[in-house]
C-alpha cells in the first residue's frame, strides 16, 4: 500500500515538474512559438484552397503565392477602411477629450452630491494619478515601440512560415507517421480529424466575425454613433476572445456614446445593440456556423483561456480553444490518456459511441445463430 502511494506521489511530482517546465518554456519562447502556431492555423485554412488550384493544374508554388497575395489584398482593404475611421477618431481626439472632461466634471458634481466627497479632494486625487501616469509615460512609449516592432516582425515572418508549411506539408505528415511508429492508420485519422476541426473552427470563426462586424456597424450607425465602422469591426474582432470579448468590444462605443451624445439613451442603446448581437451570436450564428466542431466543455475552455492569457496574452486566449480541441483529439487516440480526453470533452459526444458498440455486441450473436 505504501509502495503504491509513493509511486503515485512520484508520478504526481513528475507531472507537476514537467508541467511547470513546459509552461515556463512556452512563456520564455513566446516570441518564437506564437508566429509558428499562428502560421500552422493559417496554413491549415489556406491548404484546401491551394489544393483546389493545384487540381486545376496550377503550379504548386504559384498556387501558394496567389492565395497569399489574395489574403494580403483582402487584409489591406480591411485595414484601409478601418484606418480611415481611426484617422477621423484621432483627428477628433482633442474635441472628444474636452467632452470627456466635461462629462467628468458633471460626474464629479453628481458624486459630490451623492457622497459628500468634496470637489477639491476629487481634483487632488485626479492630480496625483495624473502625475503617476506622466511619470510612467516614458516606459509606456517604450513598451508601445517594442510592441510595434514585434508586430512588424510577426507580419513579416508569418507569410514565410505559411509558404513553407504548405509547400512541405507531405514531409511534415511523413514525419508524424514515422514518429508514431505504427502502421499509420491511427495517425492518419488523428491528422485528418485535427485538420478538419481546425479548418472548420477557424473558417467558421472568420464568417462569424464578418457577420458580427456587419450587425454591430449597422446597429451603431442606426443609433448615430460616430466611428461606427471602426468600432463595429474592432468589437467583432474582439469577440474571438470567448466570454469576455463581447464586453471588451462594447466598452469603446459605450464610452463614445457617453461623451458625444447628450442623452443616456444612446449608451443604453449601444448596450441593447451589443446585447442583441450577443444573443444572436450565442444562440444562432455560432452554433449554426461553427457548431460543436471543437469538443471542449465550458469548464476546460475557461481554464484554457486563463492559462492561455497567462502564457501568451491575448493571442493565447484566442488560440486556447482550438489548441484544447487538438489536445482532446490527440488524447482520445492514446489508450493510456483517454481519461484526460474525457475531462476536456463535452458529455454530449461521449455517450454516442458506447451505444453503437452495445448494439453491435447484441446483434452479432443473433447473426451467428
Helix axes 93-115, 245-260, angle to 10 degrees: 90
- Residue 182 in 3-state DSSP? coil
Helix axes 245-260, 185-223, angle to 10 degrees: 10
For the four alpha carbons of 42, 44, 49 and 50, in that order, the dihedral sign comes to positive
The rounded distance, in Å, linking the Cα atoms of 238 and 63 is 31
The rounded distance, in Å, linking the Cα atoms of 6 and 314 is 40
- Tell me the C-alpha to C-alpha distance, in Å, between residue 313 and each of 3, 58, 294, 305: 42, 40, 21, 10
* Residue 282 · residue 193 · CB < 8 Å: no
Segments in the chain below pLDDT 70: 1-8, 11, 82, 85-152, 180-185, 242-243, 291-292, 347-369
pLDDT of amino acid 255 = 83
pLDDT of amino acid 112 = 63
pTM: 0.67
pLDDT of amino acid 25 = 86
Residue with cell 508541467: 19
The rounded distance, in Å, linking the Cα atoms of 214 and 281 is 12
The vertex-270 CA angle with 264 and 273, nearest 5°, equals 140
Task: Give the other-Cβ count within 10 Å of 269's Cβ.
Answer: 21
The rounded distance, in Å, linking the Cα atoms of 275 and 257 is 16
What pLDDT digit, counting tens, does each position of 179-226 carry?
A: 766 555 577 788 888 888 888 888 888 888 899 999 999 999 999 988
- Tell me the C-alpha to C-alpha distance, in Å, between residue 350 and each of 152, 189, 190, 289, 339: 44, 18, 17, 22, 11
pLDDT of amino acid 63 = 93
For the four alpha carbons of 293, 299, 304 and 310, in that order, the dihedral sign comes to positive
pLDDT of amino acid 281 = 83
The rounded distance, in Å, linking the Cα atoms of 42 and 205 is 12
Task: Please list the alpha-helical segments (H only) found in the chain.
Answer: 2-28, 30-55, 60-91, 93-115, 119-135, 137-167, 169-180, 185-223, 228-238, 245-260, 265-280, 286-289, 298-332, 338-344, 347-350, 352-368
What pLDDT digit, counting tens, does each position of 279-337 carry?
A: 888 788 877 777 667 778 878 888 888 888 888 887 888 888 888 888 888 888 877 77
Which of 172, 197, 174, 165 has its CA nearest to residue 333? 197
pLDDT of amino acid 215 = 93
* Residue 112 · residue 118 · CB < 8 Å: yes
pLDDT of amino acid 363 = 44
pLDDT of amino acid 227 = 81
How far does the chain reach from its first CA to its final CA, in angstroms?
48
Amino acid at each position: 500500500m505504501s509502495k503504491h502511494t509513493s509511486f503515485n506521489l512520484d508520478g504526481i511530482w513528475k507531472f507537476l515538474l514537467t508541467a511547470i517546465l513546459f509552461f515556463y518554456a512556452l512563456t520564455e519562447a513566446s516570441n518564437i512559438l506564437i508566429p509558428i502556431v499562428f502560421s500552422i492555423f493559417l496554413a491549415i485554412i489556406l491548404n484546401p484552397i491551394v489544393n483546389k488550384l493545384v487540381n486545376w493544374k496550377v503550379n504548386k508554388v504559384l498556387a501558394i503565392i496567389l492565395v497569399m497575395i489574395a489574403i494580403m489584398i483582402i487584409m489591406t482593404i480591411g485595414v484601409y477602411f478601418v484606418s480611415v475611421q481611426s484617422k477621423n477618431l484621432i483627428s477628433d481626439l482633442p474635441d472628444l477629450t474636452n467632452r470627456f472632461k466635461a462629462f467628468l466634471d458633471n460626474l464629479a458634481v453628481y458624486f459630490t452630491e451623492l457622497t459628500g466627497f468634496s470637489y477639491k479632494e476629487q481634483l487632488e486625487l485626479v492630480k496625483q494619478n495624473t502625475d503617476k501616469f506622466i511619470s510612467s509615460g516614458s516606459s509606456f512609449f517604450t513598451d508601445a515601440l517594442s510592441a510595434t516592432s514585434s508586430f512588424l516582425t510577426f507580419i513579416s515572418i508569418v507569410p514565410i512560415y505559411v509558404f513553407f508549411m504548405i509547400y512541405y506539408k507531405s514531409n511534415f505528415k511523413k514525419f508524424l507517421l514515422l514518429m508514431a511508429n505504427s502502421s499509420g492508420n491511427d495517425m492518419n485519422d488523428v491528422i485528418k480529424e485535427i485538420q478538419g476541426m481546425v479548418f472548420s473552427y477557424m473558417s467558421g470563426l472568420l464568417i462569424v466575425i464578418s457577420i458580427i462586424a456587419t450587425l454591430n456597424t449597422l446597429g451603431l450607425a442606426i443609433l448615430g454613433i460616430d466611428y461606427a465602422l471602426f468600432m463595429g469591426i474592432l468589437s467583432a474582432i474582439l469577440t474571438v476572445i470567448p466570454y469576455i470579448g463581447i464586453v471588451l468590444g462594447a466598452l469603446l462605443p459605450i464610452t463614445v456614446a457617453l461623451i458625444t451624445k447628450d442623452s443616456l439613451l444612446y449608451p443604453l442603446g449601444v448596450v441593447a445593440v451589443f446585447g442583441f448581437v450577443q444573443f444572436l451570436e450565442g444562440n444562432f450564428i455560432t452554433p449554426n456556423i461553427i457548431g460543436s466542431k471543437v469538443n471542449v466543455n465550458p469548464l476546460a475552455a475557461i481554464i484554457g483561456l486563463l492559462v492561455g492569457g497567462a502564457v501568451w496574452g491575448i493571442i493565447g486566449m484566442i488560440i486556447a480553444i482550438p489548441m484544447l480541441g487538438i489536445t482532446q483529439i490527440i488524447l482520445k487516440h492514446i489508450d493510456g490518456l483517454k481519461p484526460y480526453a474525457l475531462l476536456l470533452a463535452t458529455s454530449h459526444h461521449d455517450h454516442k459511441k458506447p451505444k453503437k458498440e452495445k448494439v453491435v455486441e447484441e446483434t452479432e450473436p443473433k447473426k451467428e445463430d
